[in-house]
Amino acid sequence: MPGKKFYLTTAIDYSNGDPHLGHALEKVGADCIARYHRLSGDRVHFLMGMDEHSQSVIQAAARASVVPREWVDRMAKTFADYWRRLECSNDDWIRTTEPRHVRGVVALLERIQQQRPDDLYVADYEGLYCTGCEEFKQPAQIVNGHCIEHPTLELIPTKERNHFFRLSAYGQRLLQLIATGAFRVEPEIRRNEVVRLLEDGLQDVSISRQRLPWGIPFPGDPDQTVYVWFDALINYLSATGFPEPGYERLWPADLHVVGKGITRFHCIIWPAMLLAAGLELPRLVWAHGYVQWEGTKMSKTAGTAVSLDTAIERHGADALRYFLVREVGFENDGNFTWDRFDARYTADLADTFGNLVSRSLAMTDRYRAGVVPTEAGESPLDAAAAETIAAYTRAMDAYDLQQGAALLIELATRANRYVEETTPWKLAKAKRDGELDQVLAHLVRTVARLAVLSGPFIPVKAEEIWTSLGADRSLASLRLADLTGLAVAGWKVSKPPPLFPKPDAD
Ligand SMILES: [Zn+2]
Closest C-alpha to 326, from 312, 308, 307, 347: 347
Backbone angles phi, psi at 48, to 5 degrees: -135, 170
The letter for the amino acid at 42 is D
From the list 37, 130, 256, 266, the catalytic residue is 130
Q: How many angstroms does the Cα of residue 149 sit away from the middle of ligand 1?
A: 5
- Encode the chain (506 residues) as per-residue pLDDT tens digits: 578 999 999 999 998 888 999 999 999 999 999 999 999 999 999 999 999 998 788 889 999 999 999 999 999 999 999 999 999 999 999 999 999 999 999 999 999 999 999 999 999 988 899 988 888 898 888 999 999 989 999 999 988 899 999 999 999 999 999 999 999 999 999 999 999 999 999 999 999 998 788 999 999 998 999 999 999 999 999 999 999 999 999 999 999 999 999 999 999 999 999 999 999 999 999 999 999 987 777 665 555 558 899 999 999 999 999 999 999 999 999 999 999 999 999 999 999 999 999 999 999 999 999 999 998 878 899 999 999 999 999 999 999 999 999 999 999 999 999 999 999 999 999 999 999 999 999 999 999 999 999 999 999 999 999 999 999 999 999 999 999 999 999 999 999 888 999 876 54
DSSP per-residue letters across 292-328: EETTEE--TTTT----HHHHHHHH-HHHHHHHIIIII
Instruction: Locate the DSSP E strands across 3-155.
Output: 5-10, 13-14, 43-51, 92-95, 120-130, 135-137, 142-143, 146-147
Q: What is the DSSP letter of 136?
A: E
Q: Which residues contact 361 (CB under 8 A, 6 or more apart)?
A: 444, 447, 468, 469, 493, 494, 495, 496
Q: How many angstroms does the Cα of residue 68 sit away from the middle of ligand 1?
A: 22
Q: Does the annotation count 150 as an active-site position?
A: yes
Q: How many angstroms does the Cα of residue 130 sit away from the middle of ligand 1?
A: 5
Q: How many angstroms does the Cα of residue 208 sit away from the middle of ligand 1?
A: 18
Instruction: State how beta strands 5-10 and 43-51 pair.
Output: parallel
Instruction: State how beta strands 156-165 and 205-206 pair.
Output: antiparallel
Closest C-alpha to 340, from 408, 404, 292: 292
CB burial of residue 14 (10 Å; 0-12, 13-18, 19+): buried
What local confidence, expressed as pLDDT, does residue 506 receive?
A: 45
What local confidence, expressed as pLDDT, does residue 135 receive?
A: 84
What local confidence, expressed as pLDDT, does residue 503 receive?
A: 77
Q: Does the annotation count 267 as an active-site position?
A: no
Beta-bridged to residue 295, according to DSSP, are none
What local confidence, expressed as pLDDT, does residue 190 receive?
A: 98
Beta-bridged to residue 161, according to DSSP, are 124
Closest C-alpha to 170, from 189, 161, 160, 183: 183
Q: How many contiguous H segments (helices) and E segments (strands) does the chain have?
A: 19, 19
Beta-bridged to residue 99, according to DSSP, are none
Contact between 353 and 450 under an 8 Å Cβ cutoff? The reply is: yes
Residues with CB under 5 A from ligand 1 (ion): 130, 132-133, 147, 149-150
Query: How many angstroms separate the CA atoms of 99 and 503, rounded?
Result: 48
What local confidence, expressed as pLDDT, does residue 301 receive?
A: 53
Backbone angles phi, psi at 370, to 5 degrees: 85, -10
418, 422, 425, 430: CA torsion to nearest 10: -170
Query: How many angstroms separate the CA atoms of 104 and 451, rounded?
Result: 41
